[in-house]
Structure 1
Amino acid sequence: MRVWGGDQVRAAVAESVAVLRTAADRDWDGVKAGRLDWTCRETAEHIAGDLLAYAGQLAGRAQHAWVPFEITFDEGTDPAGVLDVIETTGVLLAATVRTTPPRVRAFHPYPFRSADREGFAAMGVAEVLLHTHDIAEGLGLAYEPSAGLCADVLARIFPHVRPGPDPWPTLLWATGRGAVTGRPPVTGWRWSNPLVLPAGRLALEGVTPAAAQDLAAGGDGGFVWLGDRPYDGTREVARALREAWYAGTHRPESGMFAVVREDGRAVGSVSFHGVPDEEGRTEIGYDLVPAARGHGHATAAVTALTDWALSRDDVSAVCATVEEANTASAAVLTRSGFVRTPVEETGPAPERDAEGRPLRLYVRRA
């Protein structure tokens, strides 16, 4: 999977500034930015402030709160000067993203309290695209960013939004700025960075739709895999995530997680098979690359994901089915606190897999 972030921040800023400079000789203080309460100047200052703040969070590795600083413009700074600052802060964020290791995370409140370099880049790009739209609307300028940038943002920080045939109108709709035929108006929204769960010496890193698409197509999903490739089951789950995203049913908290060691190598995946049902039951699955088996990684990953699931209000039981002959997988579940359970006690579940092999159901309850 191609490295994503720094170049995209620079591209978004370049497109923005090219459009807004055509109106740099106008009064930005007396014009509202689209539907916002801010003026065009205030909105432009907000763009620069966010780009700098994201660079600061990521560079300083802030873990618990926003770094307490903000940008201040010199008195009398005109729109052309404001755009100079946007260009400069865009360069700072792009450089920070490029020089930050891939597994590093820093504090961001929405929704799981952290983001990695790709997440901060995607948020920066989103701020530029959306607020340039607001300013352009206020000033009466034509603006439409590249479809690729919009699609990339949707696939990274809008996993809950069903992609449409045209990414820019979809992004505007998802942020309450436009209408899409067949979709209800959006009155409140937030983007969503992937969840990361600690699992002893491992981390469970949420897989974005962008990463799932790459995995499904035979790529690495942005991870460095032990043995140079994921196990086939990981690609199958990635395809399922991709299809759920296309259908608008994917929810990141009930999605797929890469199992990553302390050395940064991914060794497998653990995932939910969908959102909990009406009774609060959810099913999980897992696999490891062959070279990672026998080291307790599967038990640590399954235990961590199950503990987190059962801490949620919408989950009452976590289920898993394994082939009767797969004693190693059954042992993982047993060590993780699951109990073998007759199917009739828990609800419908397959008794055999697609090839007719008998399955056994294991359950852990809250």
Structure 2
Amino acid sequence: MTDMGGDRVEEAVASCSALLRAAAGSDWDGVRAGRLEWNCRRTAEHIASDLIAYAGQLAGRPDSAYVPFGITLDEGTGNAEVVDVIETTGALLAAAVRTTPREVRAFHPYPFRSANREGFAAMGVAEVLLHTHDIAEGLGLPYEPPAGLCDWVLTRIFPHVRPEPGAPWSTLLWATGRGDLPGREALTEWRWNNNLVIGAERLTLQGVTPAAAADLRAGGTGGFEWIEGGPFEGTRDAAGMIVSAYEKGVHRPEWGMFVLVRREDGLAVGAIGFHGLPDEEARAEVGYDLAENARGRGYATEALRALCEQALARDDVKVLLAAIDRDNAPSQRVIARAGFTRVSEDTERLARELDGLEDSLRLYARES
């Protein structure tokens, strides 16, 4: 998982450029761009504005707002020259993505107030593909970008959207209110979804996208630089659960998996997360593991406390549960330090009867 998006930005811009250059002699000002209120000319200029804005965020790295600048095209700029601007701003975003360190995040409002280089690349690609579609629709031209590019976007900033097998472009159009899919209601409102990052003292808990989860499950790094001996087998197993949830359309990032990254050196040391969404009784189960070389330093306790505080501050969860092997004394100490206590024997018995809790496990809970 070596491409963090620079190549994808260039691929998207090339797809856009090929269509727009062929249509440069058309009337862009007098034609509405698909379902948008803008005309085709305004939409093309907007593509360039988005690309340079995302490059600016990665370069300036603000944490609370957009860098206050924009681009204005010279008077008399023709359609073909607008395409020149799109290609130029696309090259700038691709360069910013390639040169921005992995741990850098900058402000973006949706939905967790920041994005990393891969997120900005994915948003840039989405803007290019979707608005090229809008222009093509307005001009009556056929347009379909490479399927792999659409899938790349979906698995990074649409983790909550169930992919339609074999139809990533149709899925992306549906997810952005531009198309229909069999058996799904049309969307009138939508947002993409950058990964959630939860801060702790020595760690950051970085949300794992479906793309990163698929790479981890397949034996890759998920885009993280791991401490020697990582990732642990449990991390790869949990990544498989994320992929399965995504494919079923039930993955929600805030109830997903997080990789634990050390602030001091940017190395990933383990993973933590939930076994799914809260149930009808507002209960959610947590799980975690560390690479062997990272154990005994309090990382698991720190991460668990941070995750619990984030989750229990919500209205849709009241109790967090953890199932720990009765012989795993270190993990029991972690749970205790994070504020969990052993549930009653009756509660544990019900968990065995109704939820399939294994006999070798003990159940612990922390309430809001």
Q: Normalized against structure 2, the TM-score is what?
A: 0.97
1:233 aligns with 234
2:163 aligns with 163
Amino acid at match of 1:120: F
Rate the CA distance shift 1:170–1:347 in 2: closer, same or farther, 3 A: farther
2:70 aligns with 70
Residue by residue over 1:167-200, the C-alpha shift from the partner in whole angstroms, topping out at 9 and shown as x without a partner, is: 0001001101001111111111000000000011
Of 305, 323, 326, the residue aligned with 2:325 is 323
Cα distance in 1 for partners of 2:104, 2:140 equals: 41
Cα distance in 2 for partners of 1:164, 1:319 equals: 33
SS at 2:31's partner residue? coil
SS at 2:177's partner residue? coil
Amino acid at match of 1:314: D
Residue by residue over 1:73-100, the C-alpha shift from the partner in whole angstroms, topping out at 9 and shown as x without a partner, is: 1112111111110000000000000000
**Shift of residue 327 of structure 1?**
1.1
Alignment of 1:52-91 (within 5 A): 52-91=52-91
1:294 aligns with 296
Amino acid at match of 2:242: L
1:253 aligns with 254
Cα distance in 2 for partners of 1:210, 1:302 equals: 24
Cα distance in 1 for partners of 2:357, 2:189 equals: 46
1:267 aligns with 269
Cα distance in 1 for partners of 2:57, 2:183 equals: 38
Residue by residue over 1:339-360, the C-alpha shift from the partner in whole angstroms, topping out at 9 and shown as x without a partner, is: 1112644895348999965211
1:334 matched to 2:310? The reply is no
Cα distance in 1 for partners of 2:354, 2:229 equals: 32
Cα distance in 2 for partners of 1:76, 1:120 equals: 31
Rate the CA distance shift 1:238–1:128 in 2: closer, same or farther, 3 A: same
Cα distance in 2 for partners of 1:202, 1:323 equals: 26
Residue by residue over 1:100-157, the C-alpha shift from the partner in whole angstroms, topping out at 9 and shown as x without a partner, is: 0111100000000000000000000000000000000001111100000000000000
2:138 aligns with 138
2:223 aligns with 222
Rate the CA distance shift 1:343–1:217 in 2: closer, same or farther, 3 A: farther
Residue by residue over 1:250-294, the C-alpha shift from the partner in whole angstroms, topping out at 9 and shown as x without a partner, is: 000100000000111100000101011112110100000000000
Residue by residue over 1:227-267, the C-alpha shift from the partner in whole angstroms, topping out at 9 and shown as x without a partner, is: 15300000010001100001111000100000000111100
Q: Normalized against structure 1, the TM-score is what?
A: 0.97
Residue by residue over 1:318-355, the C-alpha shift from the partner in whole angstroms, topping out at 9 and shown as x without a partner, is: 11010111111011011011111126448953489999
Cα distance in 2 for partners of 1:356, 1:91 equals: 54
1:312 matched to 2:310? The reply is no
Rate the CA distance shift 1:313–1:355 in 2: closer, same or farther, 3 A: closer
1:154 aligns with 154
1:106 aligns with 106
Cα distance in 2 for partners of 1:26, 1:269 equals: 53
Gaps of 5+ in 1: none
Cα distance in 1 for partners of 2:306, 2:294 equals: 17
**Shift of residue 40 of structure 1?**
0.3
1:116 aligns with 116
Amino acid at match of 1:2: T
Cα distance in 2 for partners of 1:356, 1:84 equals: 63
Cα distance in 2 for partners of 1:351, 1:223 equals: 39
Cα distance in 2 for partners of 1:210, 1:64 equals: 27
Give the percent of matched residue pairs that are identical in Structure 1 and Structure 2.
63
Cα distance in 1 for partners of 2:185, 2:179 equals: 11
Rate the CA distance shift 1:300–1:136 in 2: closer, same or farther, 3 A: same
Residue by residue over 1:47-87, the C-alpha shift from the partner in whole angstroms, topping out at 9 and shown as x without a partner, is: 00000000000111111111111111111211111111000
Q: 1:353–1:359: 8 Å Cα contact kept in structure 2? A: no
**Shift of residue 4 of structure 1?**
2.5
SS at 1:227's partner residue? coil
Rate the CA distance shift 1:350–1:236 in 2: closer, same or farther, 3 A: farther
1:127 aligns with 127
1:38 aligns with 38
Amino acid at match of 2:48: A
Q: 2:352–2:359: 8 Å Cα contact kept in structure 1? A: no
Rate the CA distance shift 1:78–1:336 in 2: closer, same or farther, 3 A: same
SS at 1:224's partner residue? coil
SS at 2:131's partner residue? helix
Q: 1:343–1:349: 8 Å Cα contact kept in structure 2? A: no
Which segment drifts farther, 74-83 or 287-296? 74-83
